[in-house]
Amino acid sequence: METSNQKTRVTVQAVIQAPVEKVWRYWSEPEHIAKWNQASETWHSPRVENDLRVGGKFLTRMEAKDGSMGFDFGGVYDVVKQHEQISYTLGDGRKVDITFVNQGNETKVVEIFDAESTHSIEMQQAGWQAIMDNFKRYSEVF
């Protein structure tokens, strides 16, 4: 975790037992995103749109399965380097940077995001890491 310009940057990461081409596809294709993009079993992503190109927009609708709450998670891509890097700006102006490190039959995914001020840093890191862990499980099983 590092702080710069009064923004706290938080890092989550995982090493996926899959080649970078598969990891990239599972990270960016809506039919895959919908299957892994939740922090717990009580949530899901019923709608996913993704235009993976510089200036392209993405939107993931995240909802509690019981319908009690939900929100849209979306933004605009700033950098897209296939199999290497994705950077985007969220609707509230926060930045997110993801790097994909090709390690042969495995891929290290490192995601660094600007924290928001509503929830604790620890809660945000735990939530984003839970989603990353779901991504790892999904990518290694399917």
Name the 3-class secondary structure at 10.
strand
Confidence (pLDDT) at 7: 84
Burial class of residue 100 in the structure, from the number of CB atoms within 10 Å of its CB (0-12 exposed, 13-18 middle, 19+ buried): buried
Angle at 104 between CA 102 and CA 108, to 5 degrees: 40
Angle at 102 between CA 90 and CA 10, to 5 degrees: 35
Query: pLDDT of 18-65, one tens digit each?
Result: 999 999 999 999 999 999 999 999 999 999 999 999 999 999 999 999
Confidence (pLDDT) at 24: 98
Are residues 38 and 45 in contact, defined by beta-carbon separation less than 8 angstroms? yes
Whether the per-residue pLDDT at 1 is higher than 80: the answer is no
Confidence (pLDDT) at 2: 53
| Predicted TM-score (pTM) of this structure | 0.93
Query: pLDDT of 91-135, one tens digit each?
Result: 999 999 999 999 999 999 999 999 999 999 999 999 999 999 999
Confidence (pLDDT) at 52: 98
Q: Which helix (H) or strand (E) holds 9?
A: strand 7-16
Q: Which helix (H) or strand (E) holds 43?
A: strand 43-50
Long-range contacts of 90-97 (CB under 8 A, 24+ apart): 92/116, 94/7
Query: pLDDT of 63-89, one tens digit each?
Result: 999 999 999 999 999 999 999 999 999
Q: How far is CA 131 from CA 6, 55, 97, in A?
A: 25, 25, 15
